[in-house]
């Protein structure tokens, strides 16, 4: 806060009583990074954000700082959807089969409307727990750091079936432990597991008339009769090199501009053999 005393004079040189001008400079809030590990996590991202001269307004969390206006929902294409409520609690729901790190950017305002720096919520998405019929989750926290899965117990039925997407006729036990590959339950035998992939990588660069590639890693390997994994490499034709333009053949001569004596005829040709592409230079003017 800054204060300045001042007075004014009229045209006759008479001064006013002294007055004080007070200027308050608002410091923006400071947002701090957050982290979580879960399949579908709720995190109050404003819990560790601070404002040195005011308060954090939790209802102003913006999940897409690069877009004008406050965005309460942000869709990460092919990865999942993040949503924030009025209390600054962010919920991230991953797409089916997504496993691994996800980063969500956000900003928040203080009670004076100043916007914070951009902070990030880093979520380590764990494999979903495929729960065979007849079992319930006893404790899912013990497995999140050792491969992602659930500690299963409490046999509810004498004839449990395999998890969704898996075939076979499993034998049962009353305590099945952590799964290591999202579908491999120790203590539950006989279930087959189908191949599952992580999401595709970015396309490789291409600077010739040829192919570009992208890859994906196996998330769950087939087990006990599961179908073989399809190819993990995809190829597509591409041509992204700069191509300079070239002239095609001349066209026919046009009519003469004079019916008698000296005149002028014109003919043209196009810059299409080849046409310039991908920032290539055009044809020289003749």
Q: Is the pLDDT of residue 279 over 90?
A: no
Q: Is the pLDDT of residue 116 over 90?
A: yes
- pLDDT digits 0-9 by tens, 214-255: 888 887 777 666 678 888 888 888 877 778 889 999 989 888
Please count the other Cβ atoms lying within 10 Å of the Cβ belonging to residue 149.
26
Mean pLDDT of 69-77: 90
Residue 57 pLDDT grade (very low, low, confident, very high; cuts 50, 70, 90): very high
Residue range 195-210, pLDDT digits in tens? 778 888 888 877 666 7
How far from chain centre, in Å, is Cα 37? 17
Does residue 157 register a pLDDT over 50?
no
For the cut 70, the answer to whether the pLDDT of residue 153 exceeds it is no
Least trusted range by pLDDT, from 1-15, 23-37, 102-116, 184-198? 184-198
Average pLDDT of 138-153?
Answer: 39
Is the entire prediction scored with pTM above 0.75?
Answer: no
What's the mean pLDDT in 172-185? 39
Domain boundaries, the chain: 34-125, 129-193, 197-238, 242-253+268-286
Question: Which pLDDT belongs to residue 115?
Answer: 93
| Domain 34-125 top-level CATH class | mainly beta
Q: State residue 204's pLDDT score.
A: 82
């Amino acid at each position: 806060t800054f204060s300045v005393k001042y007075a004014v004079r009229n045209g006759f040189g008479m001064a006013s009583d002294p007055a004080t001008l007070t200027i308050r400079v608002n410091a923006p809030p400071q947002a701090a990074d957050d982290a979580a590990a879960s399949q579908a996590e709720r995190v109050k991202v404003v819990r560790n954000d601070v404002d040195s001269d005011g308060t954090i307004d939790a209802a102003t969390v913006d999940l897409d700082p690069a877009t004008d206006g406050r965005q309460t929902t942000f869709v990460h294409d092919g990865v999942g959807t993040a949503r924030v409520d009025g209390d600054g609690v962010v919920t991230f729901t991953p797409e089916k089969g997504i496993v691994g790190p996800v980063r969500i950017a956000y900003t928040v305002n203080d009670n004076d409307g100043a916007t914070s720096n951009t902070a990030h919520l880093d979520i380590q998405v764990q494999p979903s727990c495929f729960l065979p019929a007849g079992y319930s989750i006893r404790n899912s926290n013990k497995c999140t750091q050792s491969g992602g899965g659930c500690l299963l117990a409490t046999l509810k039925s004498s004839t449990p079936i395999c998890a969704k997407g898996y075939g076979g006729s499993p034998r049962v036990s009353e305590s099945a432990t952590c799964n290591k590959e999202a579908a491999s339950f120790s203590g539950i035998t006989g279930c087959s597991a189908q191949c599952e992939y992580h999401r595709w990588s970015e396309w490789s660069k291409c600077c010739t008339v040829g192919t570009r590639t992208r890859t994906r890693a196996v998330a769950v390997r087939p087990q006990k009769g599961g179908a073989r994994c399809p190819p993990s490499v995809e190829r597509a034709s591409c041509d992204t090199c700069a191509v300079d333009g070239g002239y095609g053949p001349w066209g026919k001569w046009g009519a003469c501009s004079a019916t008698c004596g000296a005149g002028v005829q014109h003919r043209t040709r196009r810059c299409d053999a080849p046409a310039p592409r991908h920032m290539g230079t055009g044809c020289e003017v003749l």
